[in-house]
């Protein structure tokens, strides 16, 4: 009679271990997906309105080209085309990159000749 209870206890313990492993696996996959999605969004954010941004240290940029505020401890981004330096949150509101504007204007002039 006690053998039966011991066997049932071991089965329940094994089921619990398997369940824990499944939960850990699912959580890890969800974490990987979140990280991948976050990386994709950050990659998309490197090019905004024709600007191509790179991260810069605070010593290279003093003031945000969009909001005119100092960078303080915030991360700064620098456009390699027009040299605009902006806060991470200011990238979306920055007007079209000057280099892109010049290309559009040149293309437009070619079409109207």
Q: Which of 96, 69, 19 is nearest to 11 (CA)?
A: 19
Q: How confident is the model at residue 38 (pLDDT cuts 50, 70, 90)?
A: confident
User: Could you tell me if 61 and 89 lie in one domain?
Assistant: yes
Q: 110 is written with which tokens?
A: 């070619």
Q: Are 86 and 77 in contact (CB under 8 A)?
A: yes
Q: How many domains does the chain have?
A: 2
Q: To which H or E segment does residue 59 belong?
A: none
3-class secondary-structure state, position 2? helix
* Residue 106 reports pLDDT greater than 50: yes
Mean pLDDT of 70-86: 84
Whole-model pTM: value is 0.49
User: Could you tell me if 40 and 17 lie in one domain?
Assistant: yes
User: Could you tell me if 112 and 62 lie in one domain?
Assistant: yes
Whole-number mean pLDDT of the chain? 79
* Residue 44 reports pLDDT greater than 60: no
The whole-angstrom separation of Cα 34 and Cα 50 is: 27
Give residue 31's domain range.
Answer: 1-45
Q: How confident is the model at residue 57 (pLDDT cuts 50, 70, 90)?
A: confident
């Amino acid at each position: 009679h006690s053998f039966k209870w011991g066997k049932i206890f071991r089965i329940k313990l094994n089921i619990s271990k398997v369940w824990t492993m499944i939960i850990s696996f699912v959580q890890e996959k969800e974490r990987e997906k979140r990280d991948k999605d976050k990386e994709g969004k950050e990659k998309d954010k490197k090019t905004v309105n024709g600007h191509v941004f790179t991260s810069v240290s605070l010593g290279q940029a003093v003031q945000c080209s969009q909001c005119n505020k100092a960078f303080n401890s915030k991360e700064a981004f620098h456009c390699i085309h027009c040299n605009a330096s902006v806060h991470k949150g200011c990238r979306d509101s920055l007007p079209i990159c000057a280099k892109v504007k010049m290309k559009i204007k040149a293309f437009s002039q070619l079409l109207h000749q």
